[in-house]
Amino acid sequence: MAAIVSIRDVVKEYNLGKVVVPALRGVSLEVDKGEFISIAGPSGSGKTTLLNLIGCVDTATRGSVEVAGQNTGTLSERQLTSLRLDTIGFIFQSFNLVSVLTVFQNVEFPLLLQNRLSKSERKARVMQLLEQVGLATHQKHRPNELSGGQRQRVAVARALVTEPQIVLADEPTANLDSVTGQAIIDLMRSLNEQKGTTFIFSTHDYKVMQHANAVVQLADGKITGRETPERAAASMLGHAPKPVLAVAP
């Protein structure tokens, strides 16, 4: 399978005044089309930075990031924005819906930015997604009239409305209770299976990781391993001393 994301030797440093803080220190990662990958690691390990680089909202200090075949380091800001609009869907930890717009309008928003579909086409697309996330009856509600889980489902619908190749989700369940979080992950998973959209999400919840095909472990700005969800969970809980990629004696 072809890699939709290809990261090679990426270093990302933040300049905080005179201090240079390294966030990623030589990371390489390949994600194939249709994968459902989780990025795991403790706080400050560089999960969000890695997602930002893949999501084209940030660029690497060194190394190369290729998304959908494009080297993001060579693109202008405008081109990066277009790339995000057409190729990537975002699901945020705190939903990030536009509070003054209805559920329908929030989902429709990226389509308006793309400005390619007619009004009826947009409506059909939005309604289809709202059906899939189970919020068709709530289309006229405002975000503040919805529960957290419902809001995140709206966000999922918004991320998918442009039919992107990749959906990035940064801690999508962090603000949800475990049952709701579970439901969101199930929804994402089923959409991944139905549409073949690549999902990359960060989490530090081992229950959430269970649903991924693979878990990329990050620690201190470095990838420490790429494991099955079971092993990852076990290593997080301290039951699995042997990482998958470790060389067997």
Partner 1 sequence: MISQSLMLVQISLRNLLASKLNLLIGGLLLMGTFFFVFFGALLDTLSDSMSKSVVGSVAGHIQIYSSKSKDELSLYGSMGGDPDLTAITEFPKIKAALETLPNVKTVVPMGTSAALITSGNTVDLTLERLRELYKQRDGKSTNPSAVKLSPEEAAKQIESQKGHVRQIVKVLQGDTEKAGVMLDESKTDADAKAALTKVAGDEFWQNFEADPYASMEFLENKIAPQVTDGSLMFLRYVGTDLDTFQKSFDRMEIIDGQRVPEGRRGFLIAKFFYEEFMKLKNARRLDKIKDGLATGTRTIAADADLQRFVKENSQQTRELVLQLDSIKTTDAVGRLQKLLGDDKESDLGTLLARFFTMTDENFAVRYAWFYSDLAPLLELYRVRVGDTLTIKAFTRSGYVKSVNVKVYGTFSFTGIEKSPLAGQISLMDLMSFRDLYGYLTSDNTEELKQLKANTAAKDVTREGAEEALFGEGTNNVVAEATPGLIDEKKELSGVAKILRQEDLIRRVYNQKEIEGGVVLNAAVILKDGRTIEETIKQINALSEQQGLSIKAISWQQAAGMLGQVINFIKGLLLGFVAVLFLLAMIVINNAVMMATLQRTQTFGTLRAIGAQRPFVLQMVLIESVVLGLVFGAAGMLLGTIAVAVVGKVGIPAFNDYLYFFFSGPKLLPVLNAWNLLVAIVLVLIATTVSTLIPAINATRVSPLAAMQADE
* Binding residues for partner 1 (CB under 8 A): 48, 51-52, 55, 57-58, 77-78, 81-82, 84-86, 89-90, 92-94, 96, 98, 100-101, 105, 109-110, 112-115, 119, 122, 158, 162, 170-171, 174
Smallest separation, CB 192 to partner 1 (Å): 19
* Complex with partner 1: residue 99 or 247, whichever CB lies closer: 99
Output the smallest distance, CB 46 to partner 1, in A. Answer: 13
Q: How far is the CB of 89 from partner 1 (least distance, A)?
A: 8
Q: Which CB atom, from 110 or from 221, has the smaller least distance to partner 1?
A: 110
The torsion angles phi and psi of 44, rounded to 5 degrees, stand at 85, 5
Q: What is the smallest separation between the CB atom of 98 and partner 1, expressed in angstroms?
A: 7
- Yes or no: say if 45 and 53 are a contact pair by the CB < 8 Å rule: no
User: Which is nearer to partner 1, 64 or 175 (by Cβ)?
Assistant: 175
Of residues 99 and 238, the one with the C-beta less far from partner 1: 99
Residue 46 burial class via C-beta count within 10 angstroms: exposed 0-12, middle 13-18, buried 19 and up: buried
Q: Write the DSSP string, 142-205.
A: -GGGS-HHHHHHHHHHHHHTT--SEEEEESTTTTS-HHHHHHHHHHHHHHHHHH--EEEEEE--
